[in-house]
Amino acid sequence: MDNNVKNIGAKAQIDFHCLDANCTGVIEFNLADISRKNFQAVCPKCHKTYEFDAVLRDKLSRMLKLVSAIRDAEDILGDSNVSVNVAGGSVKVPYALLLTRLNTLITLDLGDKKVDFHLWIEPSSADTFR
């Protein structure tokens, strides 16, 4: 993983619900941690461990690169909008607002199940996206 991705200047937290049917735990880890050779995610409630195969690690690594690219583009996000067509015209929604108000999910295969991974990115400063 390149140094720019490792040093994005933010905590990119990711989590998913434990796959054990009898457990309500949420497994959380920093997205950058998946690059560690012996990385395992552990449920804080039932202590079940999750090892990610090469395919899943690759997808999560690319998600981290996407976070890094968004971080790199912060200075132009205030000028970027998503246009939503509505009755009578369109509404411009600032792209940065979407990043701070919508939940980011990536649905990936974990074993034989589709699992929603929730992504939480800490802003680089209190003024980010204002």
Positive or negative: CA dihedral 27, 46, 21, 55: positive
CA angle, 32 then 108 then 99, to 5°: 60
Two structure tokens written together for 49: 């461990």
**DSSP secondary structure letter of residue 66:** H
Q: Is the predicted pLDDT of residue 128 greater than 50, yes or no?
A: no
Q: What is the signed CA dihedral for 30, 31, 34, 35, rounded to 10 degrees? A: -110
- The answer to whether 31 and 64 have CB atoms below 8 angstroms apart is yes
pLDDT tens digits, 11-68: 688 999 999 999 999 999 998 898 888 899 999 999 999 988 888 899 998 988 888 8
Spell out the domain ranges in the chain. 3-121
Going by their DSSP bridges, the two strands 113-121 and 104-110 should be labelled as antiparallel
Query: In the prediction, which pLDDT does 130 show?
Result: 40
